[in-house]
Amino acid sequence: MTRRISIFGSTGSIGESTIDLVARDPQAYHIVALTGGHNVARLAEQAIQLKAEIAVTAHEANLADLRARLEGTGIEAAAGATAIEEAARRPADWVMSAIVGAAGLPPGLAALETGATLALANKESLVTAGPLVLATAAKHREKGARLLPVDSEHSAVFQGLVGEEMDAVERIIITASGGAFRDWPLEELKNATLAQASSHPNWDMGQRITIDSASMFNKALELIETREFFGVSPDRIEVLVHPQSLVHALVGFSDGALMAHVGPADMRHAIGYALHWPERRHLPVDRLDLAAIGRLDFRPPDERRWPALRLAREVMAEGGLSGAVFNAAKESALDGFIAGEIDFVRMSEVVEEVLTRLSAVAGLIHAEINLDNVRAADQMARTEARRIIETA
């Protein structure tokens, strides 16, 4: 049976890996929608290769270019955030959510409302609006709506929980490579360049998540993602630095057993698991030779090096819309670092200042978690972050 699938963020790292899997078995899939940002040439190429119904670019200014590239193919072209959301309302069985940042939330919610299975690479959805995403999936459950993790750690935990009772879970441990600056002297961190922060020792990912790995903001987001996805209390979630990135997560049970997920650092495993779930199918990833690898190292994270982890714990304790504020402040600080306005260390200081200032705004953090309030909190956090960055 042909499955109808859409890929949001198809031109990115996760999007390309998803296409790599799907393109190996073209008969099995009908591609509904593909979406991208500025890389219109690649978006059009993908749409033509996969015979998509529609290709959508996030930017209105790119529409004419996209139209010209798709002329005569019968593939529809559209542009803008609303068009992306509309594309997400087209019926599909399986939808990959791989836009980077808070922009991934609205199309993900729209896809769940149609009853699609949402493969969630966009961790920001759960960080900014976890309860809303889960409630939307539950509300449309009888139509088929379902959430599957794609983040490697969360896919690993999900796999470790198959056949288990949540009552028997004592703790969840997600691993972190430590990123580019794991072994740098602390006082050197402020001199880290954009190029240095954009290179990851183990994973080949988009630039933003690569820098977030160096600062551990990625792991901070993943702590919150773990809390939301699996519904465990924050004190049961641990981060462990594991430089080889081969053990992705461990689940600790009440009988003392630790179930570890071990596999190559290749996102096609987690994407493929979500694509074929609940079955396991052959995937084109390397098979590990543990004897050749020889050793696996683990160490606790240093919270002086990575203050983002402490901030994530504060956000989880606060709850409400503090995740939306945290994520938006982080996105703005990251923009500031990429633009050369602030140094690497300043990013977490900016985020902390935004959290402090906005948690004092009456009625903001503990307003109802709906899309309007998430957007309002997100906007306020970005404005506040800009103010802090500009007055530095």
Q: Which residues lie near Mg ion (CB under 5 A)?
A: 151-153
Which stretch, 9-17, 18-26, 283-291, 364-372, contacts ligand NAD (CB under 6 A)?
9-17
Per CB under 6 A, which of residues 59..118 are in contact with ligand NAD? Answer: 84, 98-101, 103
- What region, left, alpha or beta, does residue 3 occupy, with left being phi > 0 and alpha being psi -120 to 50 degrees? beta
Parallel, antiparallel or unpaired: strands 117-120 and 94-97: parallel
Asked if residues 362 and 313 have their Cβ atoms less than 8 Å apart, the reply is no
Residue 138 to residue 357: CA distance in whole angstroms: 34
Select the residue interacting with ligand NAD from 53, 93, 151, 228 (CB under 6 A): 151
CB of 111 to ligand NAD, least distance (A): 14
Per partner kind, with CB cut-offs from 5 to 8 A, the member of ligand NAD, Mg ion, none near residue 252 is none
222 or 364, CB closer to ligand NAD? 222
Closer CB to Mg ion, 29 or 229, in the complex? 229
Our CB check for ligand NAD shows the closer of 150 and 369 to be 150
Q: How many CA atoms lie within 13 A of 346 on its CB side?
A: 21
CA dist., res. 237 & res. 173, Å (int) = 6
> Shortest Cβ distance from residue 239 to Mg ion (Å)?
11
Establish if 331 lies at the interface with ligand NAD (CB under 6 A).
no
Beta bridge partner(s), residue 172: 237, 251
268 by Cβ neighbours in 10 Å (0-12 / 13-18 / 19+) ranks as middle
Nearer to Mg ion (CB atom), residue 17 or residue 152: 152
Q: At what angle do helices 371-390 and 322-338 cross, to 10 degrees?
A: 40
Q: Provide the minimum distance between the beta carbon of 147 and Mg ion in the complex, in angstroms, as a whole number.
A: 16
**Nearer to ligand NAD (CB atom), residue 13 or residue 215:** 13
Backbone angles phi, psi at 375, to 5 degrees: -65, -40
9 scored as a contact of ligand NAD (CB under 6 A): yes
CB closer to ligand NAD, 81 vs 161: 81
In whole angstroms, the minimum distance from the beta carbon of 83 to Mg ion comes to: 29
Closest approach, Cβ 208 to ligand NAD, in A, equals 6
Residues 120 to 139 in contact with ligand NAD, rule: CB under 6 A: 121-124
Residue nearest to Mg ion (CB): 151
94 closest CA partner among 147, 134, 42, 168: 147
If one asks whether residue 58 binds ligand NAD (CB under 6 A), the answer comes out as yes
**Residue 14 interacting entry, from Mg ion, ligand NAD, none, C-beta within 5 to 8 Å by type:** ligand NAD
Report the residue number, 243 or 359, with the smaller CB distance to ligand NAD.
243
Per-residue binding string, ligand NAD, 16-45, x by CB under 6 A, is --------------------xx--------
Q: Choose among Mg ion, ligand NAD, none what residue 37 binds, the Cβ cut-off being 5 to 8 Å by kind.
A: ligand NAD
Among 115, 131, 201, 206, binds ligand NAD (CB under 6 A): 206
Shortest distance (Å) from residue 43 CB to ligand NAD: 8
Q: Which residues lie below 8 Å from residue 272, measured CB to CB, with a gap of 6+?
A: 21, 281, 283, 285
Q: Does 205 bind ligand NAD (CB under 6 A)?
A: yes
The reply on whether position 208 binds ligand NAD by CB under 6 A is yes
> Would you count residue 267 as binding ligand NAD (CB under 6 A)?
yes
If one asks whether residue 249 binds ligand NAD (CB under 6 A), the answer comes out as no
Residues at the site binding ligand NAD, with contacts judged by CB under 6 A: 9-15, 36-37, 58, 84, 98-101, 103, 121-124, 151, 203, 205-206, 208-209, 267
